[in-house]
């Protein structure tokens, strides 16, 4: 296998691990490789890492692939061979193809790990129903979440920008121009107080909405990275403040992370919206003011317990807006122990978000 | 001695200890003429690396500190509006044509150059440090992207200013916001983490020349333990240097429980963190900080 083919296999494997490796990055990487001494492991690694990985969170995945491909390659007994490659390489023009003619002197990459190829004909992750997806598909959807969060963030920022035009403060400008003989040397503009988006999120993390809450938590984590004024709370039958908790932790087990590190399970361990809302009202009511938008993620399946809707009513009277995102399609609302109808009167909008596309649409509307 | 070792040696002379990996990225950035995006926790020396690099290369350092609301007028250029006005007033009784006045007031000497413009119009190459890029908004980032790929700025009244020398660009980020893919792609990526114990010991001894090696080792070791705890703000390298300096100043030869309690305020700056550490120290009566 030639060096170039080998590298291509390496890049392909990185992509399989969801590390975005673009053509221009590949070009940079090859260009860098021509500039360094390959026999030094640190140089070699650093060249790959700095050109291919642009986010620290990919390091683990990258290291794993890197070791699989190059561990053998960097053994002392193989060094001899590199010198040969190196010596020839220098006489070549600095192009990607320059490395292509040389043998890499080793066989196939050791046991290629990511064998699971994305099978064709799979549904668009945006359209998949939260209720019936496998863990694998869930991971695929979760990978989309940061993108979605960024799109939303961009939208919010634009909205804020439009309302942020400064106008000339005529009176102050003229008054100050008197001291400079009528020449308006100093311009004054009206200061418009920019309201930061204050978002408060309540997220159901119980088993009945498991997939949905994974997505919601991933979304919260992404939004927290974009906005400073977000507070998030998780609940099953106890409510707990999880603001900032998601910033550390592996995106693929946010839910387990929350269950472990936050007090969300109370006496019974069954979802209890009534108790949650009352508790939330009692403990965190002071966090809500007329600028706060309250977002609730959950299916309102209350296990036949008290609804506690007075608490939501009171929350609504204090908050700017209350939005409810229900992972169930509208046809299943109010069936069984779902009591979403009890809460609808106290929300500004209630959305049915059975898949990511719907969730994004709904979020964009608020 | 290859290029990386030379780079390492020079950086050491400039007061910055770096390992082979960092040296490789610095070397590649120079050879490939690419900006470096430096990420990592607060206080690992992201800014210092650019400063040391400017010492090594003997090029002037131009620094743009980013903050929320930074705009083109503060980063690129701004017309000196006051001088323009005064100029118009001054020539108003000289019967000049409007065109003549306009030509006058849009000249270089009415232009206030801000860091980005300064770095590309400079007579010699420069080291441009764009600090805390994650603080600015998307629009500014997009503008920066154009600058970093073309190294030119268009000023409507004057025309396009092309860089005479391409600057060495360092961007630092604390990752409070995700940067755009396009920007990341343009840069070489360097993640700086807290150094291993031996390296921190070396840093301490480099920064505080008469620090006994045993004390340096002890400080490095304890600080390393502290960073493993979940503190609100883990101690940075600057703080461990401060701590070692304070201990030296107090004439301490060794770091023991009592001394640590006395000087804790130099390493951890939050009250909650201090209380937490004090609790652990009183409980264990040692400096291992078991959780």
Q: Are A355 and A325 in contact (CB under 8 A)?
A: no
Q: Are strands B36-39 and A292-297 parallel, antiparallel or unpaired?
A: unpaired
Per-residue pLDDT, averaged over B215-237, amounts to: 88
Q: Are A274 and A306 in contact (CB under 8 A)?
A: yes
Task: Identify the pLDDT of residue A153.
Answer: 67
Per-residue pLDDT, averaged over A126-142, amounts to: 72
Q: Model confidence at A322, in pLDDT bands (50, 70, 90)?
A: very high
Selection from B40, B47, B37 nearest residue B188 by Cα? B37
Best mean pLDDT range from A48-57, A105-114, A147-156, B177-186: A48-57
Q: Are strands B111-113 and A239-241 parallel, antiparallel or unpaired?
A: unpaired
- To which H or E segment does residue B161 belong? strand B159-162
How many degrees, rounded to 5, is the angle at CA B66 between CA B63 and CA B68?
165
Q: Model confidence at A99, in pLDDT bands (50, 70, 90)?
A: very low
Rounded to an integer, what distance in angstroms lies between the CA atom of residue B34 and that of residue A280?
A: 51
Higher pLDDT, A164 or B78: B78
Residue A113 has pLDDT above 60, yes or no: no
Task: Identify the pLDDT of residue A119.
Answer: 38
CA B82 to chain centre: 33
> What would the pLDDT profile of B47-98 be if each residue is shown by its tens digit?
999 999 999 999 999 999 998 778 888 888 888 888 888 888 888 888 888 8
Residues of A in contact with B28 (CB under 8 A): 32, 35-36, 47, 50-51
Please give the interface size between A and B, counted as residue pairs whose CB atoms are below 8 Å apart: 83
Interface of A with B in 205-244 (CB under 8 A): 225-226
Task: Output the CA–CA distances (angstroms, integers) from residue A180 to A176, A177, A185, B92, B99, in the order listed.
Answer: 8, 5, 7, 16, 26
Rounded to an integer, what distance in angstroms lies between the CA atom of residue A224 and that of residue B134?
A: 14
Q: Model confidence at A89, in pLDDT bands (50, 70, 90)?
A: very low
Q: Which residues pair with A235 in a beta bridge?
A: A204, A239
* CB proximity B188 to A under 8 Å: yes
Residue B204 has pLDDT above 90, yes or no: yes
Residue A165 has pLDDT above 60, yes or no: no
Asked if A50 and B20 come within 8 Å (Cβ–Cβ), the reply is no
Q: DSSP H helical segments within chain B, as ranges?
A: 3-13, 20-32, 46-57, 72-75, 81-91, 98-105, 115-121, 138-150, 181-186, 197-207, 213-228, 237-249, 257-263, 271-284
> What would the pLDDT profile of A7-62 be if each residue is shown by its tens digit?
889 999 999 888 889 999 999 999 999 888 888 888 999 999 999 988 877 888 89
Under 8 Å CB-to-CB from B190, ≥6 apart: which residues? A50, B22, B25, B36, B37, B38, B39
Q: Where does B3-76+114-191 sit in CATH, by number?
A: 3.40.50.300
* CB proximity A174 to B under 8 Å: no
Task: Identify the pLDDT of residue B153.
Answer: 84
CA B124 to chain centre: 21
Q: Are B49 and B38 in contact (CB under 8 A)?
A: yes
* CB proximity A150 to B under 8 Å: yes
ipTM of the complex as predicted: 0.83
Asked if A49 and B39 come within 8 Å (Cβ–Cβ), the reply is no
Token pair recorded at residue A326:
């229900």
The residue ranges of every structural domain in chain B are 3-76+114-191, 197-283
Best mean pLDDT range from A85-89, A181-185, A288-292, B62-66: B62-66
Q: Model confidence at A120, in pLDDT bands (50, 70, 90)?
A: very low
Rounded to an integer, what distance in angstroms lies between the CA atom of residue A145 and that of residue A211?
A: 13
Q: Please report how many Cα atoms fall inside a 13 Å half-sphere around the Cα of residue A96, on the Cβ side.
A: 12
0.80 surpassed by pTM: no
Rounded to an integer, what distance in angstroms lies between the CA atom of residue B258 and that of residue B264?
A: 10
Nearest residue on chain A to B31, alpha-carbon basis: A35
Site from A21, A23, A32 to mutate, B interface, most B CB atoms within 10 angstroms? A32
- Nearest-CB residue to A185 (from B24, B85, B190): B85
Can you list the domains of chain A with their CATH numbers? 3-99 (no CATH), 139-165+193-365 (3.40.50.410)
* CB proximity B185 to A under 8 Å: yes
* CB proximity B176 to A under 8 Å: yes
Mean pLDDT of chain A: 77
B71-75 long-range contacts (CB < 8 A, ≥24 apart) are B71/B140, B72/B140, B72/B143, B73/B114, B74/B114, B75/B114, B75/B115, B75/B116, B75/B140
- Nearest-CB residue to B82 (from A22, A49, A185): A185
Higher pLDDT, A268 or A107: A268
Q: Coil, helix or strand for B86?
A: helix
Residue A140 has pLDDT above 50, yes or no: yes
Asked if B82 and A146 come within 8 Å (Cβ–Cβ), the reply is no
Task: Identify the pLDDT of residue A155.
Answer: 64
Q: What proportion of chain A, given as a percentage, has pLDDT over 70? A: 74
Nearest residue on chain B to A51, alpha-carbon basis: B188
- Beta strands across the sheet bearing B188-191: B61-65, B127-131, B168-173, B36-39, B188-191
Asked if A183 and B89 come within 8 Å (Cβ–Cβ), the reply is yes
Token pair recorded at residue A163:
């309302």
Rounded to an integer, what distance in angstroms lies between the CA atom of residue A247 and that of residue B256?
A: 35
Higher pLDDT, A287 or B189: B189
Instruction: Give the minimum alpha-carbon distance from A37 to chain B in angstroms, rounded to a whole number.
Output: 8
Higher pLDDT, A181 or A119: A181
Q: Taking each helix axis from N to C terminus, what angle separates B213-228 and B197-207, rounded to the nearest 10 degrees?
A: 130
Per-residue pLDDT, averaged over B211-235, amounts to: 88
Instruction: Give the minimum alpha-carbon distance from B71 to chain A in angstroms, rounded to a whole number.
Output: 13
Residues of A in contact with B184 (CB under 8 A): 54-55
Q: Are B260 and B288 in contact (CB under 8 A)?
A: no
Task: Identify the pLDDT of residue A228.
Answer: 66
Task: Identify the pLDDT of residue A196.
Answer: 57
Task: Identify the pLDDT of residue B237.
Answer: 92
Q: Are strands A349-352 and A230-235 parallel, antiparallel or unpaired?
A: unpaired
Q: Hunting for tokens 């045993």 — which residue is that?
A: B214
Asked if A54 and B82 come within 8 Å (Cβ–Cβ), the reply is no
Residue A98 has pLDDT above 60, yes or no: no
Task: Identify the pLDDT of residue B230.
Answer: 74
Per-residue pLDDT, averaged over A95-113, amounts to: 40
* CB proximity B89 to A under 8 Å: yes
Nearest residue on chain A to B176, alpha-carbon basis: A225
Instruction: Give the minimum alpha-carbon distance from B225 to chain A in angstroms, rounded to a whole number.
Output: 19
Nearest residue on chain A to B232, alpha-carbon basis: A244
Q: What proportion of chain A, given as a percentage, has pLDDT over 90? A: 13
Residue B233 has pLDDT above 60, yes or no: yes
- Nearest-CB residue to B21 (from A20, A42, A183): A42
Q: Model confidence at A92, in pLDDT bands (50, 70, 90)?
A: very low
Token pair recorded at residue A115:
């064998």
- Nearest-CB residue to B190 (from A20, A42, A50): A50
Selection from A231, A228, A214 nearest residue A295 by Cα? A231
Task: Identify the pLDDT of residue A112.
Answer: 39
Residues of A in contact with B134 (CB under 8 A): none
* CB proximity B174 to A under 8 Å: no
> What would the pLDDT profile of B110-129 be if each residue is shown by its tens digit?
989 899 999 988 888 999 99
Token pair recorded at residue B207:
């920064």
- Least confident interval from A69-73, A297-301, A351-355: A69-73
CA B168 to chain centre: 13
Task: Identify the pLDDT of residue A40.
Answer: 85
> What would the pLDDT profile of A188-226 be if each residue is shown by its tens digit?
877 665 555 678 899 998 888 888 888 888 888 877 776
């Amino acid at each position: 296998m030639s060096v170039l083919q080998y590298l291509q296999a390496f890049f392909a494997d990185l992509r399989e691990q969801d590390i975005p490796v673009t053509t221009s990055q590949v070009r940079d990487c090859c260009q860098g490789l021509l500039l360094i001494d390959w026999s030094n492991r640190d140089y070699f690694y650093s060249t790959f890492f700095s050109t291919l990985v642009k986010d620290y969170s990919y390091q683990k995945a990258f290291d794993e692939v890197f070791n699989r491909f190059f561990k053998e390659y960097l053994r002392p007994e193989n060094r001899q061979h590199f010198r040969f490659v190196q010596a020839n390489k220098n006489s070549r023009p600095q192009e990607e193809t320059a490395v292509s003619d040389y043998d890499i002197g080793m066989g196939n990459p050791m046991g290629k790990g990511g064998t699971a190829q994305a099978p064709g004909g799979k549904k668009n992750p945006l359209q998949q129903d939260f209720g019936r997806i496998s863990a694998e598909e869930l991971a695929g959807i979760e990978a989309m979440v940061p993108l979605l969060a960024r799109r939303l963030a961009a939208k919010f920022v634009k909205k804020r920008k439009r309302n942020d035009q400064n106008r000339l403060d005529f009176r102050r400008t003229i008054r100050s121009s008197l001291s400079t003989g009528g020449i308006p040397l100093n311009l004054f503009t009206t200061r418009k107080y920019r309201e930061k988006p204050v978002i408060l999120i309540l997220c159901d993390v119980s088993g009945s909405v498991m997939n949905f809450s994974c997505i919601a938590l991933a979304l919260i984590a992404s939004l927290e990275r974009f906005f400073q004024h977000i507070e998030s709370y998780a609940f099953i039958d106890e409510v707990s403040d999880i603001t900032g908790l998601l910033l550390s932790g592996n995106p693929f087990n946010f839910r387990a992370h929350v269950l472990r590190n936050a007090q969300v399970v109370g006496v019974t361990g069954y979802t209890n919206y009534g108790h949650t809302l009352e508790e939330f009202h009692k403990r965190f009511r002071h966090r809500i003011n007329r600028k706060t938008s309250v977002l609730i993620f959950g299916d309102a399946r209350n296990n036949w317990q008290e609804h506690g809707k007075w608490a939501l009513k009171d929350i609504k009277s204090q908050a700017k807006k209350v939005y409810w995102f229900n992972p169930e399609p509208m046809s299943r609302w109010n069936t069984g122990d779902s009591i979403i109808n009890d809460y609808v009167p106290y929300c500004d909008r209630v959305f049915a978000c059975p898949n990511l596309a719907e969730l994004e649409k709904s979020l964009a509307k608020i | 001695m290859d290029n990386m070792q030379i780079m390492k040696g020079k950086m050491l002379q400039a007061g910055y200890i770096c390992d082979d990996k960092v040296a490789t990225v610095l070397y590649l950035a120079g050879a490939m003429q690419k900006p470096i995006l430096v990420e990592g926790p607060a206080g690992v020396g992201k800014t210092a690396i650019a400063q040391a690099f400017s010492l090594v290369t003997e090029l002037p350092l131009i620094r743009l500190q980013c903050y929320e609301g930074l705009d083109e007028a503060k980063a690129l250029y701004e017309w000196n509006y006051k001088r323009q006005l005064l100029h118009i007033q001054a020539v108003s009784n000289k019967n000049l044509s409007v065109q003549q006045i306009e030509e006058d007031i849009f000249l270089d000497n009415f232009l206030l150059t801000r860091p980005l413009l300064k770095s590309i119009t400079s007579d010699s190459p420069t080291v441009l440090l764009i600090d805390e890029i994650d603080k600015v908004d998307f629009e500014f980032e997009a503008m920066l992207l154009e600058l970093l790929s073309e190294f030119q700025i268009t000023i409507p009244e004057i025309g396009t200013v092309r860089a005479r020398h391409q600057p060495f660009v360092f961007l630092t980020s604390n990752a409070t916001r995700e940067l755009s893919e396009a920007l990341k792609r343009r840069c070489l990526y360097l993640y700086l983490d807290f150094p291993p114990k031996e390296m921190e010991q070396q840093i301490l001894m480099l920064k505080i020349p008469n620090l006994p090696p045993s004390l340096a080792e002890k400080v490095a070791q304890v600080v390393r333990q502290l960073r493993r705890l979940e503190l609100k703000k883990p101690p940075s390298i600057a703080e461990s240097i401060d701590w070692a300096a304070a201990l030296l100043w107090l004439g301490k030869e060794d770091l023991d429980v009592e001394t640590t309690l006395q000087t804790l305020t130099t390493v951890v700056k939050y009250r909650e963190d201090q209380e937490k550490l004090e609790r652990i120290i009183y409980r264990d009566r040692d400096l291992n900080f078991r959780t």
